[in-house]
């Protein structure tokens, strides 16, 4: 305890004076905001920065489109009937197309097998593929 009350008051005002000499957070942020454009001007020219930003945004858009392309196409196509061509084809039609192609391939293989059997039954020399090829 300090017996002299004036000395404690001067110590408290001294602490306030020291705090007031320190820059506030607000002034630090304002100074930083003022300095960043100057720093960027020294580092990059504006046209270069514009091209770099266009590249970065384009790259990000491409990555997002690759990740969420189907959902994005469906959403955009639902906005207007004129944008319907953007919608991805329905999954069931692609499976139906694959199924139809497999059925056609199976039928052509069965027909080829029947033709070979018929030629062998007639005694015709059926050309065979050699194993050494």
- Does 26 reside within a domain? no
- Residue 102 domain-assigned? yes
The long-range contacts involving 54-59, CB below 8 angstroms and separated by at least 24 positions, are none
Rounded Cα gap, residues 5 and 125, in angstroms: 126
Q: How many structural domains compose the chain? A: 1
Which of 5-14, 23-32, 74-83, 98-107 shows the lowest per-residue confidence on average (mean pLDDT)?
5-14
131 domain residue, yes or no: yes
118: number of CA atoms within 13 Å, CB side? 6
Question: Is residue 97, in this structure, part of any structural domain at all?
Answer: yes
Does the model's pTM come out above 0.95?
no
Domain that holds residue 118: 90-133
Tens digits of per-residue pLDDT, 60-111? 988 888 888 778 778 877 887 787 777 776 656 677 788 889 999 999 999 9
């Amino acid at each position: 305890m300090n017996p002299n009350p004036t000395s404690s008051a001067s110590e408290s005002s001294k602490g306030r004076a020291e705090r007031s000499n320190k820059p506030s957070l607000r002034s630090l942020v304002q100074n930083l905001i003022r300095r960043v454009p100057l720093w960027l001007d020294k580092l990059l020219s504006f046209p270069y920065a514009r091209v770099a930003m266009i590249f970065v945004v384009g790259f990000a858009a491409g990555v997002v489109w690759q990740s969420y392309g189907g959902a994005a196409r469906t959403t955009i196509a639902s906005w207007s009937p004129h944008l319907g061509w953007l919608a991805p084809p329905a999954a069931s039609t692609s499976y139906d197309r694959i199924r139809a192609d497999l059925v056609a391939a199976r039928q052509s293989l069965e027909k080829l097998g029947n033709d070979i059997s018929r030629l062998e039954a007639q005694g015709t020399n059926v050309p065979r593929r050699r194993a050494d090829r």
